[in-house]
Chain A
Amino acid sequence: MGEKLVELKNVTKKYKNTVAVNEVSLTLEKGKIYGLVGKNGAGKTTIMRMIMGLSIPTSGAVNVSVNGMGTLIEAPALNEGMSASENIRFYSMLSKNSLSANSQAKASNAGKTPYTADQLLKIVGLENTGKKKVKDFSLGMRQRLGIAIALVDKPDFVMLDEPINGLDPIGVVEIRKLIKESNEKENITFLISSHNLPELYNTATEFIIIDNGKMKKQISAEQLENEKNENLEEYFLSVIKEV
């Protein structure tokens, strides 16, 4: 078993009379790419928000032990009046040894050299945006910048909530490549949510399938390859229908 970065123990989150997450337990280990798959409203974002510390569980425990966490939850968190490089500068100022609100402090960030703003902008294809303010960015450009910001300081752990929303097909391919490369070269662990299993099929190494706030299955890419039939979507539907 690899190094534990995130552990959820019997976590439940209720909003008034709605149970968004119900008794979920899971462990995320270093070096993997986790695909968090579920229908709209299944509880994917709520789980991510609790890991990040934006939301407090109604019961259960969330333990996070990482050197830096990059996130893109729902919409990119951007300063509208700043340019792309200024936004990166802002997050660089924040991110030194930045940890999740739930995390326990660890040793300093293992000698990784952070990306420069220019490197990051080039990686996500925004190197020619100059002084253009974020408020004038398209949806895809905002999404790309959100992903760049998540990678500032090369954190241990990155959570991306439906990251390819708003991206054109070339952008989708580029972001998938970026995730894989960051995982392989920088040993960054990813948790990526999607409502579409095929979308994550070629990227994730582990899949966590949830429905109606409950965890239905955690399966590795190899196991999925063996268990699935011809159609991934049918497999996904069969898993969430299991009692």
Chain B
Amino acid sequence: MRQLELFKATLYRMYKSTGVRIAVLLTYIAAICYYVLATMVANGKMGVDVAGSITGLGDAMIIWLFGSLIVGILVGGDFESKTIHGTIGHGRKNVVINYVMVYMVMMAVLLLPYLVGSVALIIAEVDMTGAESTAVSIFLDNVLKFGDGASIGKLVISYISYVIVVMGQLGILIIVAMKIRKAMAVTCVGFIFGMFTALIASLASKVEMLDNIYKLTPYNYGISRLGIEANISDMCVGIVVSLIFMAVCGGIGWIVFRKADIK
């Protein structure tokens, strides 16, 4: 019960936060613009040469920017405003579990417009051929590859696995936030880390041990493993790996926090 009270109170704090409202609003605007512009590319109303700019509005980039901001407000904001003084009475372990739970909800809220846009385009049977270069994640890729014989169940699993993998990828920010406890610093670290995630794979591939570790993280799961044409087993493994990764991040966050002094 105490965990639920903490969860509801934190959701209320996030709901009332101006920073969170701006982040969610801008994400929703970016998602609308992304799909509108991608459709215009598919229709030939815009040239493929602008695809690079359009991908900047895709979830792959936006989630790292505004997801980092949300984690910063969720954890760093709690310390900066000292509202942690009100939550610490619920126990430090419960505080960290609560951060992870609210984080997952907030990531789902941020990804929702991209998911809705993707489903809407599939239902409306919009032909997105020609807009392949704007597909930065499974959301648009599934629209492009969802054919007549495709399974709805597989599509649902594809979406679920992708959302959980993204949560896993940003889960590392929980540790960063528990350590530095400053909203703006977490946002900066998260956004920079997000830009380098693509490099992590190539760097890891050069060292066998790092490559083996990398394969056990959510960063190893992209369109080829989670899209509609991937194996369901890959999607399920992606879900399990990401959930374990988030639990590990929460665990490390707790280790960082459990004996730390709170100002």
A: residues with CB less than 8 A from B are 49, 52-56, 69, 71, 73-82, 86, 89-91, 93-101, 103, 149
Contacts and interface: CB of A to CB of B under 8 A. Distances in A.
Interface of B: 1-2, 5-6, 8-9, 12-13, 16-18, 81-92, 259, 261-263
A79 B16 contact: yes
Given A54-B261, A81-B18, A93 B88 contact: no
Given A93-B5, A94-B5, A75 B18 contact: no
Instruction: Please provide the 10 A-B residue pairs with the shortest distance between their CB atoms, ordered closest to farther.
Output: A77-B82, A93-B9, A77-B85, A54-B262, A98-B89, A94-B9, A55-B261, A81-B18, A94-B86, A56-B259
Contacts of A98: 2, 5, 86, 89-90
A67 to B, nearest CB: 12
Contacts of A54: 84-85, 88, 261-263
9 contacts: A53-B88, A53-B92, A54-B84, A56-B259, A78-B83, A79-B17, A81-B16, A86-B16, A98-B5
B89 A90 contact: no
Contacts of B92: 53, 101
Interface centre among B13, B84, B259 (most CB of A within 10 A): B13
A89 to B, nearest CB: 7
B16 A82 contact: yes
Contacts of A149: 86
B17 A73 contact: no
A149 B12 CA distance: 16
Contacts of B263: 54, 74
Nearest to B19: A81
